[in-house]
Structures are given as C-alpha cells and as structure tokens.
C-alpha cells in the first residue's frame, strides 16, 4: 500500500519521518512543491492552483491514500480535494483542541502561516473549542524560508523568533502549538528561548494515528528507524520531477 504525502516544501518531511517510524510497512511517495514554496504568504486562489496541480500528479502515480502534510493546504483545499478524488485524503490542522485540554489556568499560542491563520477553517476550529477565549495566534512566515534554506543554527533564526514573540507576555502561556510542519525543525530553539514549563505540541502523531485508523493498519510497537527505511520505501518528487533522496536524508538528520 502506497501513501502520497504532499507539502509546499520540506516541512511535511517531519510528518513523513513520524509515519516511517510508526507505519514502517507502508510505501510512500513524497511530493514537495519547491518551485512554489512558500504557500503561506501567497493568495488563496494561486495556492489552490498549485495544490490541485500537485495532487493531480500524485493521484496519477497510483497512490492508495493522500496525506496533506501541510496545514495551509489542508485549510484551503481539503474539502474540494475530497469531493474530486475517491481515495482517502487525510488533512492536518493546528493541535488547538489538545492544547486547550492540556492547558490549565494559562493561555495557548498558535504559531502558523498567515494563510492558515486567516482561513475560515482555522477560525471555525478555534471558535468551536476555545470556550474560554484563551487562544492567541501568531504568523511566522520567516520560519518557512529558514527551513527551506536549511538555516537551523543561524543566529538570525533566534533573533527572528525573539523579535516576533516579544509582543507576548510568554509567562502567561502554558502551551505553544506548532501549526506548520516546517516549524518542527526549530523545536530545540523554541525550548531554549521559551520560559520553562511551556509545553510545545504539534499535530504530527495524531495525524499518523488517523492515517493508520483510516487504512486499518497497525502502528509499530517500538517504532522503526526512518533513515533505515528511506532507500526502499520512499519516492521523492520535487514539483513533478524525480528528486534525489539525499535531500530527505539531510532533513531527517535534523529530526533524528
């Protein structure tokens, strides 16, 4: 069984990493639309064109299911994609609900792309689960570009985050939600600059569990080593062209 993974770029590799670890028996096709990344700062109409072009290509490769490993793509296109295609399509959304459930007497800060945060899908999610109005949001488009440029240890990354987060009294927050798959590469930096005790969560594992349930396949007990599975079980496409899997190895090394 082959599952297609789609993202605007390399952010979705964080989801693929977890899927290889938890669902090592599957085969994977990963499509990164690197010619058009970033999505989060572009118009909804243009991004939809990119998404449907990419998904048409992925479906033609004969995948059995599709995972949108991109919060932005999910927020603006998942309903239309499900109407058009017959295979299961799994989306992602910021982990607002578990963040609220786990946060006691403090606030929740959701970090995502500008396009994700201004879509009705996100606003509907927050209005549905945030009964006490404890959720705040912050767009961080710069992190996508840092990740795509493989800039993880550049002092400019920390400076950017400190500047953007400075508008919040972080001592009032109990949970930070990473609502863009690109942001997971920066967990170490977030832990260094955030006050002690703030929990950092994302939607990756919940999404993989949903995928497993949809496909009716068991999760691995102790988990596999993603880098060991990479050579035989993953095909890579970069905006429709066959890609070199050394790119995946490079980004997996950040996550290992």
> What's the pLDDT score for residue 231?
72
Active site residue ranges:
70, 180
> What's the pLDDT score for residue 220?
86
- Phi, psi at residue 145, to the nearest 5°? -70, -40
In this prediction, residues 68-87 reach a mean pLDDT of 96
* Residue 67 binned pLDDT confidence (cut-offs 50, 70, 90): very high
Question: Does the bond joining 38 to the residue before it have cis omega, within 30 degrees of 0?
Answer: yes
Q: Which residues pair with 109 in a beta bridge?
A: 136, 176
Q: Is the dihedral of CA 196, 198, 204, 208 positive or negative?
A: positive
* Residue 222 binned pLDDT confidence (cut-offs 50, 70, 90): confident
Domains and CATH numbers, the chain: 2-92+205-255 (3.40.50.1860), 96-203 (3.40.50.1860)
Q: In sequence order, which residues have a C-beta less than 8 Å from that of residue 93 and are 6 or more positions away?
A: 71, 74, 75, 121, 122, 125, 179, 203
Q: What is the pTM of this model?
A: 0.94
* Residue 105 binned pLDDT confidence (cut-offs 50, 70, 90): confident
């Amino acid at each position: 069984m082959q599952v297609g993974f789609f993202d605007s770029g390399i952010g979705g590799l964080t989801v693929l990493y977890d899927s290889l670890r938890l669902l090592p028996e599957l085969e994977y096709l990963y499509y990164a639309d690197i010619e058009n990344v970033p999505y989060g700062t572009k118009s909804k109409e243009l991004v939809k064109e990119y998404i449907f072009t990419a998904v048409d290509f992925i479906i033609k490769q004969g995948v059995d299911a599709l995972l949108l490993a991109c919060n932005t793509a999910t927020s603006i296109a998942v309903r239309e994609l499900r109407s058009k295609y017959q295979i299961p399509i799994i989306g992602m959304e910021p982990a607002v609900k578990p963040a609220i459930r786990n946060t006691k007497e403090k606030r929740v800060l959701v970090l995502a792309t500008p396009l994700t945060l201004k879509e009705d899908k996100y606003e509907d999610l927050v209005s549905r689960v945030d009964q006490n109005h404890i959720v705040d949001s912050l767009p961080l488009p710069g992190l996508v570009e840092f990740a795509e440029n493989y800039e993880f240890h550049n002092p400019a990354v920390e400076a950017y985050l400190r500047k953007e987060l400075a508008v919040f009294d972080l001592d009032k927050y109990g949970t930070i939600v990473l609502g863009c798959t690109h942001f997971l590469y920066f967990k170490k930096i977030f832990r260094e600059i955030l006050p002690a005790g703030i929990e950092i969560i994302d939607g990756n594992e919940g999404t993989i569990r949903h995928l497993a349930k949809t496909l009716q396949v068991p999760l691995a007990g102790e988990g596999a080593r993603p880098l060991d599975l990479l050579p035989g079980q993953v095909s890579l496409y970069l905006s429709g062209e066959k890609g070199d899997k050394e790119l995946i190895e490079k980004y997996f090394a950040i996550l290992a």
